[in-house]
Amino acid sequence: MKKLSFFFLLVGLFSSCSTIKYVKKNELLLAKNTVYIDSVKNSSDNIAELLLQRPNAKALGIPLSLHFYNLGNPEAPKTPSEWAKKNPKTYNFYKDVFSEKQSIAVAKTLIGFNNWFLTSGEPPIVIDDKKTDKTVDNLKAYFQTEGYFRAKVFSKKDTIGKKKGEISYHITKGNPSYLDSIKTFITSPVLDSLYQLTKKKSYLKPGDHYKNDNFIKEANRLVKLFRNKGIYQFNENYISFENDTLKNYEKTDVDINISDKTIPFQIQKLRKVNVYTDYNYSTRNSKHKDSVSYNGINFYALRKLKYNPKYLSQSLFIKPNTVYSDSLRNLTRTHLRGLKNFKATSIRYNELSENELEANVYLTPIEKYTLGFETELSRSNIRNFDVSLKFSLTNRNTFKGAELFKLSTFGSYFNSNNGPGWEIGSDISLEVPRFMAPFGLHKLVPKRMFPRTKFYSGIGIQKNIGLDKQNISIGIDYKWDYNKRKSIQLELLNTQYIRNLNVDNYFSIYNSEYRKLSEVAEIYDPSYTFPDNTPSNSGEIINFISGVLTDANFAASNPIEFQNVLNLANRYNIVTSDFLIPEIAYSYTYNNQESIKDASFSFFKFRVANSGNIMGLLSNKTNSSGQKTVFKIPIAQYFKTDIEYKKYWDLGDNNVLAHRTFLGAIFTYDNSGVPFSRSYFAGGSNDIRAWRTYDLGPGTRAPLLEYNIGSLKFLTSFEYRFNVFGSLKSALFIDAGNIWDITNTEFVDDPAKFNGFKSLKDMAVGAGFGLRYDFKFLIARLDLGFKAHEPYLTNNKWFQNFNFSNSVLNIGINYPF
């Protein structure tokens, strides 16, 4: 704890720096805004946004950006010549000792540092009376739009310290106005008939509180209604509202006026739909040499048509002889962009007559072949240094149906605790923008949900990574978007074969297991020389285990040691076993984030998977452990469920509170073990950051194994993110969770098992802080985690190792969640 005082000392020194360093005489630094509505203090975001001046942004109550600005000097010289005049002795010193060129370089460097402080920081917000008066006008106008036509607003400025001031805004709303009579004046019979069919959905109803926002919503509703019903030329300029409050300001009479065109509105249909599949502005006037008509849609190409009209038309929701609709136009544009075959899509309309339109769809294809190259440097507690390379080839429109074919090869070289190692592999995939399913199953999901099918396979080989695995995978994924916020994924035939190539390396990786056997050997036979821990001696170690397990006398005389060897032997069999994992999974994802800039949103994902159920029923062969097998390969048989929820709150001034909760469990059956790759682990840069990957759990068991895994996981995190200055960001976080075993196997120690809700007290808790730098295209992240609660300690479990020497530095890319 004492070592953490250094960090808090820095924070204290920073906060003690003067915030009024560059506030001039007779000026006041805006320290606080307070809004009172009918004498009640108000802090709502929609009111705060109307204030033209707000205090300098703060994090943890400290205006860090202002302090950073104050490290510079806005009055400092801007050029080397000005710097030389202000600092003649320093300038001449460098000039005499080195050269004038060196003096200029020093001046430029110091000027650059000063400018960096000023541009990265935030200048002091000084109270401006004109902006205060304008804010009063804004507040009054806002409450009038909310129906408080007699609202009164005034401001008050107070000095609250040396060169510091606050402004309070006092608002008296008065009585609100309510909508009274609502009349419509629609000159077009066509528009009037459409309006009458949907007037119950109007946002303007007698007796409702007057709100200007409802008038905007009603205008948008009417524009959307008419344009989706074939009125192509309609826009908001044809709508006007007249509000009468002269008789009684507490009651508003509303007239809705919808005017007609000089040439009256008519419902317009599409007579022709033309698709230009290789449009380019430079060749826009060239003659098209290839064309075909499919279901009334005309497809054109400058040379040869490369897209199959049958499949491309599945992304077109605008059809001949259908009424014009904005929604179908937007849906068509969204689907065409989702094909990932076109770098530009445009839909334009020509009026052929008063009630007929021609739709022209212009598609500019991306290059058919694209080569990709990626490189990455990384570090973890498992791999001290890792450099990886990836080459990829993308072929678009592979079979003329806007498919995406991808072939990639990758390799990595690293230095681990066990020496240098490498990994190589290759993946191949074909993504089809429609359902590829027999028996008419593709009809179950409508085209508007953008169904996709992905076929994939891959192979990977590892050397000096654990037991040197070979991984072969093959599968089919079906995805579709239920709506803008909800998406569904169905994974069929997601089959993986995992083969361990270097089982003899087990005791080198799990050195703690070797030490346990060595201790048992001294009890079992003091004269026996236990073999050294090298891969070449693995067979002799296994023979020793077999000898102990077949010795009934030792089992009777040393039951604890015998049980330890039995548990170790079973862990060995589980970890070193090859597995065939024929998994089927269903995923549901909900995300209500409107855009990248939206900082207040929720995310939810649910995934349930089963492995080996069908194949296990078809197989009647088992191995010595009672596991179902295919070609002597154990079948992984389990049910697995993962639930993840994330919530983000925008606190203003680039401050965000983020929360994440994860719950996962895997249940095995038919004597199956849990494949290592499907198990849960705890710790790491995106997990409980006070522990390294695989270093925590399960349960209250001391982390003695090199790779600690479990079949149940619970994790929850809170993170407060804030700006320091410029692109530098920071965060304070707290993580809690653990992993447990729920397989009920006798080969797992009791401390590692989950025993109901009482086991939740055994969650580990970590806290810390981090620095992040926003490069726009990615965020580089450093998080320092401290152990607050260690469930495996015997006595006091809180804050025993809450210090820098036992902290964990995490390096990551982008946010942890």
- Give the model's pLDDT for residue 418: 62
| Rounded alpha-carbon distances, angstroms, from residue 188 to 102, 133, 191, 195 | 79, 45, 5, 10
**Tokens matching residue 36:** 């009172």
**Cα 769 to Cα 10: distance, rounded to the nearest angstrom:** 14
Strands (E) in 522-654, as ranges, are: 579-591, 601-611, 629-630, 633-634, 638-652
For domain 2-74+123-172, give its CATH number from 3.40.50.1980, 3.10.20.310, 3.40.50.620, 3.10.180.10.
3.10.20.310
User: Is the distance from CB of 219 to CB of 236 less than 8 angstroms?
Assistant: yes
Q: At what angle do helices 511-524 and 559-576 cross, to 10 degrees?
A: 150
**Cα 706 to Cα 418: distance, rounded to the nearest angstrom:** 12
Cis peptide before 698 (omega within 30 of 0): yes
Q: Which helix (H) or strand (E) holds 574?
A: helix 559-576
- Give the model's pLDDT for residue 384: 61
Intrachain domains 2-74+123-172 and 178-258 with the same fold? yes
Residue 752 identity: A
User: Is the distance from CB of 450 to CB of 435 less than 8 angstroms?
Assistant: no
**Cα 511 to Cα 520: distance, rounded to the nearest angstrom:** 15
Four-residue CA torsion sign, 100, 102, 103, 104:
positive
- Give the model's pLDDT for residue 2: 47
- The burial of 737, by beta-carbon neighbours within 10 Å (0-12 exposed, 13-18 middle, 19 or more buried), is given as buried
**Tokens matching residue 680:** 């849960």
**Cα 316 to Cα 310: distance, rounded to the nearest angstrom:** 11
**Cα 214 to Cα 178: distance, rounded to the nearest angstrom:** 12
Assign domain 178-258 to its CATH superfamily: membrane protein fhac (3.10.20.310)
User: Is the distance from CB of 452 to CB of 441 less than 8 angstroms?
Assistant: no
pTM: 0.81
Give the residue carrying structure tokens 């290059």: 367
**Cα 262 to Cα 604: distance, rounded to the nearest angstrom:** 52
What are the residue ranges spanned by the domains of the chain? Answer: 2-74+123-172, 178-258, 269-365, 367-501, 503-576
475-483 CB contacts, 8 Å cutoff, 24+ apart: 477/453, 478/435, 478/437, 478/451, 478/452, 478/453, 478/454, 479/451, 479/452, 479/454, 480/445, 480/449, 480/450, 480/451, 480/452, 481/449, 481/450, 482/449
Give the residue carrying structure tokens 């965060």: 731
**Tokens matching residue 52:** 């033209």
- Give the model's pLDDT for residue 462: 86
**Tokens matching residue 272:** 């022709």
- Give the model's pLDDT for residue 15: 52
CA-based nearest residue to 445, from 395, 481, 411: 481
**Cα 676 to Cα 665: distance, rounded to the nearest angstrom:** 14
- Give the model's pLDDT for residue 379: 61
**Tokens matching residue 149:** 């036509």
- The burial of 315, by beta-carbon neighbours within 10 Å (0-12 exposed, 13-18 middle, 19 or more buried), is given as buried
DSSP labels, 190-227? HHHHHHHHHGGG-S--TTSBP-HHHHHHHHHHHHHHHH
- Walking along the chain (817 residues) 10 residues at a time, the average pLDDT comes out as 48 64 92 94 88 89 88 91 88 84 89 90 94 96 94 95 94 94 95 95 95 96 97 96 84 95 95 96 90 96 95 95 97 95 96 95 96 76 72 96 96 75 93 88 87 96 80 95 94 91 85 88 91 88 91 90 83 84 97 89 97 88 85 92 96 90 95 87 94 90 79 96 87 96 76 87 95 88 95 92 92 89
List the Cα angle 322/328/332 in 5-degree steps.
115
DSSP assignment letter at 368: S
Strands (E) in 323-403, as ranges, are: 342-353, 356-365, 369-378, 383-396
Assign domain 269-365 to its CATH superfamily: membrane protein fhac (3.10.20.310)
User: Is the distance from CB of 733 to CB of 768 less than 8 angstroms?
Assistant: yes
- Give the model's pLDDT for residue 512: 81
**Cα 550 to Cα 378: distance, rounded to the nearest angstrom:** 47
A 10 A CB-CB count for 554 gives: 19
